[in-house]
Structures are given as C-alpha cells and as structure tokens.
Structure 1
Amino acid sequence: MKNSSKKLTKKIISGKFKGKILTLPSKTTTRSSKSIVLESFFNTLQFDIVDATFVEVFSGSGSIGLEALSRGAKQIYFMERDRDALKTLKANISLTDPSACEVFSGDSFVNIEQVVAKLKKTKTQAYFYVDPPFSIREGMEDIYSKTMQLISSLPSEIVEMVIVEHMSGLEIPKELGLFKMKKSKKFGNTTLTYLS
C-alpha cells in the first residue's frame, strides 16, 4: 500500500514561478481543477490579471491563485476551511511570494465578509474565482445554493469579475445579484461560468 502515501502534485504552468511544483491535498478533502480548465481560464484573462487582485474562495492547494500570482497578479486572497488543505496551501505559498498572499482560514461563507471589508477599505476591485466542492460530496448538498447567495451578496464596486467552476449539470442563473452571465464554457463534467 505504498502508493497511497504518494503525494499528488501540480506544476505552475506559466509566468515567473513556472515549473514550481505544488503539492495537492488529498483527493478526499479537495478536488483539483483540471489543467485544461485552468489553461482556458488563464488564456481568457491573461492580460487582465496583471497587477490585479485575485480572490480564490475555496482555495484547496491554492493552485489557481498561485498561477495568477505567477502570471502577474499583485495580491492574492486565499480562503480555505480544511485543515490539511490549509497546511498544503501555506507550504505552496512559501514556494512563491508570501508577501503578496493572504490566507483566510475557516468557513469561506463567513470569511467572505472580511475579504469584502478589506477590498472596500482599499477601494480595490478583484477577480473572484469560486470553485466550491461538488455538491455530490457528503455534507455538501446545499453548497451550490449557499455559493449563489455568496456571489449575489458581493458589492459590485469590489468585483472585476466572478468566475465559477462548477459541475456541468448545474444551471447558473443568467443574473446573480448585480452580476450578469457573460459566458459559459464546458469541459466535460466541469464548466466555467463568467459573471460581471
């Protein structure tokens, strides 16, 4: 049974930390975004995220936020509740630029208020990447309805764009709070939906 202790890893694809190897938390606690999804996302926003602020709402290993940092984003806010994932996240951040990263540990649905307050105070608009655990996981049955409420509650003055990574079967409303769907792109079981 040696295999089960083998660490899952992922490389930063591009930018100043290209090739850095990030550790992923165990598959039971988080689900890593597929490379094809990440590449499409960063191809779409590659020039927009330079010098931008980026919020990864359900961070896991932080691979998306750290990829954004590597590609020129200026400040990354990570939000994660799971203890193992937090440990991994902090170790991954230490391989890049910790001074540009801030971690909010605990429930993202609670901590979003701190992040919003911080962005309001600094009059900053951010990209919110929202990749909740799939609702088929035990205890996560209401995760999507809570996520939609979270997005709806964001004040428009702090939002550059909201990007939701979700199960392809999930219908995201055309309008959520003050935000309208701009586009949706499907990759097998996973879909990226852009709102602004």
Structure 2
Amino acid sequence: MKKELSTRIIAGKYKGKKIKLPSKEVTRSSKNMLRESLFNILQFDIIDKNFVEVFGGSGSVGLEALSRDAKNVYFIEKNKDSYEVLKSNIKSLDEKPCIVRFGDAFEAIWDVIEELKAKKEKAYFYFDPPFSIREGYEDIYEKVTDLIKKIPKEVVESIIIEHMSNYDFPQTIGSYELYKKRKFGKSTLSFYR
C-alpha cells in the first residue's frame, strides 16, 4: 500500500490541519520553510485579499492564504489526481471562499481574471509551475513570463513566482518590476508588482 503523503497548515485559523499531497510524480509540493517565509513577507497584506494559486497541485499555498484570512482563493489544476486531492483538501477546511478551476493554467487563468475584473478586485497571483527540468516542461518559464506580460495590472496586487534557483526571471516582465527575491536551496521566490 502506498503511504499517503501529507503536510500541515503552518499558521492561522487552520494551523496544524493536515492536507493531503498528490503523488510526487505529478506535483512538487512547496516546502514548509518556503511557505512560511512567503507568508512572513506577505504578513497581514493577505487579509481580505484574493489569492490565486495558478498551478494548484495540493493547494498547500492557497490554503495557507485561506488560513491567514484571504478573502477568496482561486485554484487552477489540470491533473485529474491532483485536482481530486485539492478538492478534498478544500472540503476539509472551508469550501465557501474557494473557487477551483479544472484545466490548463494558461487558459483557465483568463476566467479568473475576468471574474476579478467584473468585481473590480485585485489578487495575489502565485505561480509555482513544474520545474523546467521535468520532461515536457523545458520552456515552462518562458511560457509563464509571456503569460504574466498579458495579465492586466488592474487585477494585480502582486505576482509571486516560485522557481528553480538556477533560473533568473528578468528584472522586468511587461509592466511588472521585480521588487524582492528570496532563495531557499533549490527553490527561489521572485516578487513582482
């Protein structure tokens, strides 16, 4: 029998709650230290704000935002197994403020953007694409860069990219400027606004 992978919510109203992780072949979960640092940086800015986890996976980052009082959390996931795990994790916490989109992040993100525009609201966009060393994802960072260039500023609080530390995203992506960078071993967080 396969051991079920899991992690826990680090802080906030769901602190200590267990969330399931999809199999490692499918998704790479954001490390606890990285998640903790991300939210130490965002701190109270996240309260009552929208948060979009563009490559949803288990939802560990978006659910951490939910635990820390984000208003609505959007998740996009195209892998069926990860999507099922994500839905069950949301159900175990609070479904009301969560909006889950099943599909390719590069297409489904536009539904989220349209929804934000209609509400005249902004969001934190969190990009944690599969590492570019994975088969079939060699150009993923270029694709993410092209996508970010097209996101209208009216819906953006900040854009955060989790990526391999040996890859540097440009100082400027479209009308967004890099304002902070934090390295955690093999992973780095780059912040744009």
Smaller-chain TM-score bracket? over 0.9
String of CA shifts for 1:91-124, please: whole Å, max 9, x gaps.
0000111010000111000111111111100001
Correspondence for 2:182: 185
* Structure 1 CA distance for aligned equivalents of residues 14 and 33 of structure 2: 19
Correspondence for 1:120: 117
Correspondence for 1:6: 3
Correspondence for 1:163: 160
Counterpart amino acid of 2:192?
L
Correspondence for 2:129: 132
Alpha-carbon offset, residue 150 of structure 1: 1.1
* Structure 2 CA distance for aligned equivalents of residues 54 and 81 of structure 1: 18
Correspondence for 2:28: 31
Correspondence for 1:69: 66
Alpha-carbon offset, residue 183 of structure 1: 1.0
Q: Normalising to structure 1: TM-score of the pair? A: 0.97
SS, match of residue 35 in structure 2: helix
* Structure 1 CA distance for aligned equivalents of residues 25 and 145 of structure 2: 24
Unaligned 5+ runs, structure 2: none
Correspondence for 2:145: 148
Unaligned 5+ runs, structure 1: none
Alpha-carbon offset, residue 46 of structure 1: 1.4
Q: Normalising to structure 2: TM-score of the pair? A: 0.99
Matched pairs, number: 193
**Farther off after superposition, 141-150 or 160-169:** 141-150
* Structure 2 CA distance for aligned equivalents of residues 43 and 112 of structure 1: 26
SS, match of residue 48 in structure 1: helix
Does residue 109 (structure 1) correspond to residue 106 (structure 2)? The answer is yes
SS, match of residue 130 in structure 2: coil
SS, match of residue 47 in structure 1: helix
Q: RMSD over aligned Cα, in angstroms?
A: 0.6
SS, match of residue 44 in structure 2: coil
Segments of 4+ in structure 1 off by > 4 A? none
